[in-house]
Structure 1
Amino acid sequence: MVLATLHLIALSPGKTIPLFLRALKSHSIRPLVTAKVVRWIIKPEKLSTHLTQQQWDLLVIVPTSTPIPATFLSEDWVHRHWTASAGVPSRIFNGFEETNRGLLHPLPGDVPELTGALERPRKASSTQGLELNDELLSWSKGFKLGQNGAVSMLNLLSFKPGKEAHESYKTYGKAFAENIGSRRGGNAKLVGRVVPDQNTPNEDKYGWDEFALAHYPSIRHFVDMLASEDYQKVNHESRLPALRDTCILCTTELDPEVGGDTPSAPGIMRETEGDKAKL
């Protein structure tokens, strides 16, 4: 197991994502993940509800052994900040950079076709149960970062007490990996069990159990999954009964090697200068 630290960062006025990432690079900090925060898919209802009161700019995940220097987490750079540490299985951590590169830059034929679920989508009134509603569907069709670029969904998970809840979620995870997620290109590429009391700056104290960063080849693949009967059957039978609370934050991963303003996944438009000015 390797300890990693998740950072949600809202930058101070005048600081931009490219500036921040270049500063990290100048100190030889190589994050596992650098992603621009897009929007909430599911908001927390019991734990860490304060997270929804802030517009976040970045998700940065780094090995705890190589922390972000304190100077770049000071008020000069960061307006708001949240962290949590988690133990990532060594088998995932050791090959993550290569695995992630392959997911973000797939070869022709690697990305599965949509299943057709969006032709007759199953919809609900809210996305809180990880279901599709009219607002999310409309937003996804106008996704400003493009219809063909990858998205990474940060999941925070808190389980109900008892072995049954964990077994139920394991059933869901198995179905996601073997069928309902993988047939849409879904991949829980980075997962870990939260390890509290690591004394990181602004560490979460609310009791999350696990995190998962799930990859989808595009926003269309994600909503195709939510719209489907096969996904919702497993979601309602195995995922929802297991959870005390959860939240999902949609992000798009960035390429720090070219200044941090270019998404790593092809098919996503580069930020304009006007976009940067708003950060």
Structure 2
Amino acid sequence: MTIVSIHLISLAKPETLPSLLKYIQSSNIKPLVQAKPIRWVIRPEKIQVSELHNPRWDLFLIFEDTEPSKAFISSLLDTSPYGAKGDFKVISHWTTNSTVPSRLVKDFLTKTNPSLLHPTQLPSLTGALDNPLIKESSQDLSLTDTFRQWIGTTTDPAQLPVAGAVSMFNLLAFKPSMKTSYLRYAKAFAETIGGKRGGTAKLFGNIMKDDKERVSEDTQGVWHEFALAHYPSLLHFADMIGSKDYQEVNQKHRVDALGDTCILCTSELEIEKLMKEDKAKL
């Protein structure tokens, strides 16, 4: 297992994000993931509500939890309330640690993630959006009119509010003795309901309460696991959650298994785009 640290960062001025990205780049500490938080799909209802309900997160990061990465994060937060580097200032910071299977981390930066973010071909949509299942609330991971209107009616992934691949950052807390039900959902997600739409859990693991011990599944009121689920586009994600085949599995195995959850839509491509634009100005 590999220990990773997961971070959400909010800046005093969002327009200074390029400066923060430069600072990360100059540190020689390569994040496994650096992504732009886009919007909440599901908000937490019970766990760390005030900590996570930040009006605006500017950057989502995952690092291998090494001494250099710890020192780097500390350098961002080195004064009270938070430190300033260059022309950016961190005003809010949420973090947790997790174990991740080492096989997922091994070639993540060089092979796995680049191939997901820049595929040679996109999987076809299933047609579920022609007559989608719509609910008033997204809290059970259903498609809502609000989300549908946000992505629009385009069938071109390049014309979406966020172009290209997105990753959904999930935090999961299980009800007592209900994780086996969620594992049935995860199996169906990988093999059918998610997989056929290009969905894949590219990073996942157990939340740790310290550097040595994972949170017990019997412990309530805390997060147990995280997952970073990749989708080729927002359309592919909507095609899944608005479909009958997905909701049959979701409602049967996932919804009742969770005591609380939250899902934040993020985009690594938005960060790549921002860095290219900033470099072009030089």
Task: Name the TM-score class by shorter chain.
Answer: 0.7 to 0.9
Pair 1:175-2:176 in alignment: no
Q: Which runs of 5+ in 1 are unaligned?
A: 200-204, 264-269, 272-279
- Are residues 87 and 120 of structure 1, via their aligned partners in 2, closer, same or farther at CA, if it must alter by over 3 Å? same
Q: Which amino acid aligns with 1:119?
A: D
Equivalent of 2:74, from 57, 70, 77? Answer: 70
When structure 1 is superposed on structure 2, of 146-155 and 98-107 the one drifting more is 146-155
Structure 2 partner of 1:42: 42
- Are residues 9 and 126 of structure 1, via their aligned partners in 2, closer, same or farther at CA, if it must alter by over 3 Å? same
Alignment of 1:137-152 (within 5 A): 137-141=148-152, 146-147=159-160, 148-152=163-167
**Contact 1:153/1:214 (8 A) holds in 2:** yes
Identity %: 46
Pair 1:29-2:20 in alignment: no
Deviation, 1:253, is 0.5
CA distance in 1, matches of 2:105, 2:34: 15
Structure 2 partner of 1:19: 19
Q: TM-score, normalised by structure 1?
A: 0.85
CA distance in 2, matches of 1:255, 1:229: 31
Q: TM-score, normalised by structure 2?
A: 0.84
CA distance in 2, matches of 1:140, 1:262: 24
Secondary structure of 1:261's match? Answer: helix
**Contact 2:98/2:205 (8 A) holds in 1:** yes
- Are residues 255 and 116 of structure 1, via their aligned partners in 2, closer, same or farther at CA, if it must alter by over 3 Å? closer
Structure 2 partner of 1:79: 91
Structure 2 partner of 1:277: none
Structure 2 partner of 1:89: 101
Large movers: runs of 4+ above 3 Å:
142-146
Secondary structure of 1:157's match? Answer: strand
Q: Which amino acid aligns with 2:29?
A: I
Q: Which runs of 5+ in 2 are unaligned?
A: 213-219
CA distance in 1, matches of 2:242, 2:63: 33
**Contact 1:34/1:255 (8 A) holds in 2:** no
CA distance in 1, matches of 2:114, 2:244: 31
- Are residues 14 and 34 of structure 1, via their aligned partners in 2, closer, same or farther at CA, if it must alter by over 3 Å? closer
- Are residues 254 and 71 of structure 1, via their aligned partners in 2, closer, same or farther at CA, if it must alter by over 3 Å? farther
CA distance in 2, matches of 1:121, 1:239: 20
- Are residues 127 and 152 of structure 1, via their aligned partners in 2, closer, same or farther at CA, if it must alter by over 3 Å? same
**Contact 2:18/2:275 (8 A) holds in 1:** no
Secondary structure of 1:16's match? Answer: helix
- Are residues 166 and 14 of structure 1, via their aligned partners in 2, closer, same or farther at CA, if it must alter by over 3 Å? closer
1:250-274 Cα distance to aligned partner (Å, 9 max, x none): 0100477x6x7159xxxxxx79xxx
Q: Which amino acid aligns with 1:70?
A: S
Deviation, 1:15, is 6.0
Deviation, 1:21, is 1.2
CA RMSD in angstroms, aligned pairs only: 2.5
